[in-house]
Structure 1
Amino acid sequence: MKIAAHVDENGTPLPLTRKGRVQLYDNDEGAWRLVGEFPFELPGDGSLGPLRASLNALARRLGDWRVLLSGEVRGFAYSYLQDQFGVRPWRSDGALVAQLTAVAAAEEKRAAEACACPSGDSPSSCGGCGGARSTVVPMGGPGVRPVDRLDGSRSFDLIAAMAVDSRLNSRLALMPLLTEEPFRPIEIRLDHRPRWFARDLDELGLTFTEETRDGALFITVTAEGGDTP
């Protein structure tokens, strides 16, 4: 098992927004070995361009390490790493070695559950290990995912997504959809426009219109110069 950990000088996991070091651990020989490390801290000005560039650089330096132990697991940075690069963030408590062991056990359980099939079915027939299955977990939890439309656009119910998963916030749920390439126009149902929305969409080169229907706010996001569906 290979696990990366973003930690301070005492080995305590830190959020990516705080200055620390990313340490690369491997336990292929039965014990955790530190095989590499490098300093890391996300830019603090909140601008989306530098943030994405920093995360892209981090993903390249992680290489084969696709499990990240950190002091936080929520927010755009973690969602972006998971959605774009398949990096799975984890947070635990206790001494670093104990946390690495706990995360490794949780990863093994996650993998086993991903392979599970109904009784009598083989993994290849039900889409478990060895079969065709998506490696990207849709934001918002089971049953709440973007809906494809015939014209190529999509719709997404943020109100329903956040009702299903209380851990979500608007940025965590929406940014993977807004930064997906190629971008497709999307209509979002929500109860209010988030404070970050207009600024971040401007940085992404996106524009939006909004209207109120049936007591909810509907925002349609398109690329600048694109056609509104």
Structure 2
Amino acid sequence: MKKLLTIVLTVSLALSLAALAQAKKLVVGHDTNFMPFEFKDPATGDYVGFDIDMWKLIADRLGLEYQLQPMDFNGLIPALQSGNIDAAIAGMTIKSEREKVVDFAYPYYDAGLMILVRADEGDIKSLEDLEGKVVATKLGTTSEDFVKKNAKAKDISLFPNIDGAYMELATGGADAVLFDSPAVMYYAQTAGKEKARVVGPLYMGQSYGIAFPAGSDLREQVTIEILKLMEDGSYAELYKKWFGSDPK
């Protein structure tokens, strides 16, 4: 009887711990300033954007409780590896180096890199024209890797947030910004209107994915929900809200 009681208690404890783990509030890391994917609404102080809305839809459908954790982009992967956060949604490009240490759900956005220059700039029209120039971008991103490998820039200015790169361009400290296409296009149409413009083609096609610690059970569940959102039209509604057009 003692052995049976021990087994029953052990199983009960294991089930209780499993239920507790399932019910815990998830910590979801996101970038602090990557318009229009995530940024702080000056009116409310809340974080808003395509990524924020996307995750809310997914979490609501899965019945997940969560809290958002804003942090610098280059701290997201280490936070996933250490278990300090349970997921990261931050316009994060799926690339082989990252897939070695974290797991990604199904890609939810296709993008690329584009060049942003001042409105009166007439000499820079493509990647080749960045030779001998100062190029600004965001630290720890695929943009940084691309500039270092492909642009013969005189100098590369790196910033923890892309706003710093935009400011460097506006004040003349940089000749161009090279960064993710949706972000630079959004800036050119909003805060940078009549001050900056996008030039050249789209470089380095890439996909964004929601990242999880390696082996996380959430990855498969979230992948299924992303596909459902795309099939039932919810994704298209959200896309149009933030980008002003239907997804391609």
Larger RCO (CA within 8 A; separation ≥ 6):
2
Does the pair score TM above 0.5? no
TM bin (shorter chain): under 0.3
Q: Which structure shows the higher helix fraction? A: 2
TM norm structure 1: 0.25
Larger Rg: 2
